[in-house]
Structure 1
Amino acid sequence: MDWETIHKDTAPVVPPRLTDYEEARAAFTWDRARGALAGLPGGGLSIAHEAVDRRAVSQRADKVALRCIARDDAVTDANVPACASTTRTHHSSPRRPAVPTFLVAHAP
């Protein structure tokens, strides 16, 4: 399916973090990437922790992390702690499905 490109007519409220892709690519190292991750308390890595849980206790925890717009245009917003609660519930479920039932998009 083809999608129409969305063109923005205003400057971004928050400046983009990646302004020079080639420079970022040339400077990339796995050690630096690993250093940017918080890691789980006690060791290990979890994408849910990196994407959601560590932000749930940050200064930006009250920001909208996920906005869902239904077919009837009803809008539901969730902040980071609400998403963290959902990911913890999903992760700790003894019968969790093989495919995630809740996806989180992090807004910078």
Structure 2
Amino acid sequence: MVGEKDNISLVDEYRQLQKKVLNNSLDEAANADPGPRLDAIYARIVSRPVVDIRAALEKLWFAHHCLTEEDDFKEAGNLIYQVCIALEAMSRKAPDDANVA
């Protein structure tokens, strides 16, 4: 899933903003607290439905970020669960011959 900024994925946008916050390199013009923007991106990633492989990959990449950068096992587990449920539903809708390897 692509964000509104320069075709950057929401996960990459979240990471970039978080890096800026951690490095204290926010522009003087952007003095506003970045917390609400981070929260909004986070909420969009978590709440978006998994309707295709691209959406599943975005959630899995964010789960990876949650595990490796934030040590947030609960959210990573939630994201992985969402992907599993969606992929299971997609596989039920697929023709039988698509499930054969």
Q: TM-score w.r.t. structure 1 length?
A: 0.28
The structure that is helix-richer by fraction is 2
The structure whose Rg is larger is: 1
